[in-house]
């Protein structure tokens, strides 16, 4: 049982002894809230609405919203989407997005039908892109050292 949400979490154990938790898709990854309860505040975050304003509008504690937002970036995207082998064919591309009114650049890596990594770059220069893609490189090495 999830202690926070009082929802049953299933576990499957493979023949080789590896075990996986099966969590319902309507729960946040950290099991702290229902996805529908945090959807609206997180959508507003995309448009630069600060934590204190979202907390006031949705009658929540500021730290709850802040912790939920931080929890979204805790897990390694590579480690959670690819359990055994990295896809043989991968693609990398740069995207530009606005955050809090500022233009930011995001280095993305995809393969095998999923997003393997997304990391903001400090600027749109060659060294900045190399540093941003270096995050994916390190996470990929955590999965497969070669």
Is the pTM of the predicted complex or chain greater than 0.75? no
**Averaged pLDDT of the chain:** 75
CA 14 – CA 7 distance, rounded (Å): 23
Q: How does pLDDT run across 57-109, given as a tens digit for each residue?
A: 887 777 777 777 776 655 555 555 555 566 677 777 787 777 777 788 888 88
Per-residue pLDDT averaged across 16-26, rounded?
75
> 41 or 143: whose pLDDT is higher?
41
Confidence grade of residue 16 (pLDDT, cut at 50, 70, 90)? confident
């Amino acid at each position: 049982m999830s202690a926070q949400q009082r929802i049953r979490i299933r576990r499957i154990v493979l023949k080789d002894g590896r075990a996986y938790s099966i969590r319902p898709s309507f729960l946040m990854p950290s099991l702290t809230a229902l996805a529908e309860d945090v959807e609206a505040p997180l959508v507003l975050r995309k448009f630069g609405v600060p934590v204190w304003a979202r907390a006031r509008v949705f009658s929540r504690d500021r730290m709850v919203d802040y912790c939920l937002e931080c929890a979204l970036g805790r897990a390694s995207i590579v480690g959670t989407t690819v359990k055994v082998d990295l896809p043989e064919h991968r693609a990398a591309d740069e995207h530009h997005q606005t955050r809090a009114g500022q233009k930011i650049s995001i280095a993305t890596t995809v393969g095998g039908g999923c997003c393997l990594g997304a990391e903001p770059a400090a600027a749109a220069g060659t060294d900045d892109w190399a540093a941003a893609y270096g995050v994916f490189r390190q996470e990929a090495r955590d999965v497969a050292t070669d």
